[in-house]
Structure 1
């Protein structure tokens, strides 16, 4: 199983026509998990692919991944579960409130813009709107007042410290 999996993953070694024709579930699971990990892992050369883009790649029949192995992976990693924030193709951002029953990429999403719930598995909604990607993080930047910024002269000022009779 491992030798066949390694040959299929890395495209090395001689072809054993009999083994190449067989769909060995363990080989397909290892191959699918390895490719998903390679797509989503951090590395020096390039930014990792998002979970949504990796799943789209694996689900694309033209890429040759076993559908059952991909579905098993999807069920084990729990992407697009309730509470995940997503960006939609129309630019809106939203919150997954119910996972997609038949397709992980088609959950119910609550739009932050207008509080409307979109069922992305409904054909007329899916024709106009899909998940573009997962939002990496919610925006948690601190707001800095322009007056405070203009007064900064380069020295260290710590919160709660007094400088020129002002508390920062």
Structure 2
């Protein structure tokens, strides 16, 4: 797998334990300054990319789609003699599919989101409804808020990343339904 120099830097810093609040605060401060100065658009884009790579890495380590399979398997073992309503099983499958799809988008570079969203959602070529996808994003944001320190840079960056995915999905739905 080929990693960009920026991605390699994130991986190295992560391995060295340097991806902490101090790092995130510094990148955020530099990004704010670059936006205010407006004379270094390349720097602004690079710093945004650093934060996106960070969010993607952290969020992909917390795969709820994989955990969902374990929960569903445990559910089936525990209730093997019970009859499950088809609608419940279908709904669970739909939610799990949306979780996997969200994992795919989270791991992808931002430049690939449009293609993924068009190919993954029912308004395009996919089989995940926008409503269920939005619900998966909302649930992931809730989990992120619960599992990160309130007001931390990490919390803000991760939730902004997820909201960015939702905004992009909403834009695509809007365009494709027009």
Verify same fold: TM over 0.5: no
Please identify which structure carries the higher strand content.
1
Range into which the TM-score falls when normalised by the shorter chain: under 0.3
TM-score by length of 2: 0.24
Highest RCO, 1 vs 2 (Cα 8 Å, sep ≥ 6): 2
| Structure holding more helix per residue | 2
TM-score, normalising length: structure 1: 0.25
